[in-house]
């Protein structure tokens, strides 16, 4: 049995679920967390290498408690992938403070709560890997996605800072920036999504990036993410002009 262990949050559907199956099928022990316990239990019953650890990442103390349970069970964690995220394109069409706060609390502070639970463990262990799932939406501001883009941009910046903090302790930090992946979250988008890929494709790319590469950023699908990288470095006047033209699709 492979004694390597990965902890994945946001694992009841979408990218997190696909990633759990990928690592489990590669022989890893997977500690899988999400709020929806019934879905976690279904997933864990379908694969002996996946183990359910229900968690609401907004509860900072519960994050610590679940992390301690995982360490107690497996005596080790090699990789922690924090992929909790929500988006509400309907409410983003207007300034909705309640929705903005919910998105920031879940996407950014929920991830911070998760990182907080493993921070000292990896520092003292002097090995391991913390990976934060952000998005190419964090590169620049996009229409009807203000809070989502802001939350993902914050995660990218934080991952960069955390990289320097943890490198001194031989702990790898990476950020994962997918393009459009077909999930229950992207199913809400009321516009065409170019080069949209499957969760299984995302899981394959993430597995390679997490286990076979040392890169800080893991991004995919490359044809799409390279376009986004060009937009990222584009002068503001040109970027705003191009996106304004594209808004007729929304």
Query: Which residues of the chain have a pLDDT value below 70?
Result: 1-2, 187, 190, 248-250
pLDDT at site 37: 95
Q: Considering the entire predicted model, what is its pTM?
A: 0.94
Half-sphere exposure of 141 (CA within 13 A, CB side): 9
Residue with the two structure tokens 């970027």: 239
pLDDT at site 248: 61
CATH at 137: 3.40.50.720
Residue range of the domain that includes 76: 5-249
pLDDT at site 157: 98
Please count the residues of the chain: 250
Distance CA 141, CA 170 (A): 34
- Dihedral, CA atoms, 118, 121, 126, 131, nearest 10 degrees? -10
φ, ψ of residue 185 in degrees (nearest 5): -70, -50
- The number of domains in the chain is 1
- pLDDT tens for 126-144 read 999 999 999 999 999 998 8
pLDDT at site 185: 75
Which residues are CB-neighbours of 208 under 8 A, at least 6 positions away? none
Alpha helices in the chain (DSSP H): 14-25, 37-46, 60-74, 97-104, 110-125, 146-167, 199-211, 222-233, 236-246
């Amino acid at each position: 049995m492979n004694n390597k262990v990965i902890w994945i949050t946001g694992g009841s559907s979408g990218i997190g679920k696909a990633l759990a199956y990928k690592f489990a099928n590669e022989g890893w022990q997977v500690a899988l967390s999400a709020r929806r316990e019934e879905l976690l239990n279904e997933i864990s019953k379908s694969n002996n290498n996946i183990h359910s650890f229900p968690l609401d990442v907004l509860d900072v103390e519960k994050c610590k408690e679940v992390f301690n349970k995982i360490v107690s069970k497996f005596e080790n964690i090699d990789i922690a992938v924090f992929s909790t995220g929500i988006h509400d394109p309907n409410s983003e069409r207007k300034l909705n403070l309640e929705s903005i706060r919910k998105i920031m609390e879940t996407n950014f502070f929920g991830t911070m709560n998760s990182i907080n639970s493993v921070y000292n463990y990896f520092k003292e262990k002097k090995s391991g890997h913390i990976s934060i799932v952000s998005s190419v939406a964090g590169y620049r501001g996009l229409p009807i996605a203000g809070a989502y883009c802001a939350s993902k941009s914050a995660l990218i910046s934080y991952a960069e800072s955390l990289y320097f903090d943890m490198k001194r302790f031989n702990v790898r930090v990476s950020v994962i920036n997918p393009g459009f992946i077909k999930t229950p979250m992207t199913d809400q988008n009321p516009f065409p999504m170019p080069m949209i890929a499957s969760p299984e494709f995302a899981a394959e790319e993430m597995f390679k990036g997490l286990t076979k590469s040392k890169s800080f950023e893991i991004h995919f699908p490359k044809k799409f993410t390279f376009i986004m990288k060009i937009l990222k470095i584009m002068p503001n006047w040109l970027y705003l002009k191009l996106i304004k033209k594209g808004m007729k699709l929304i």
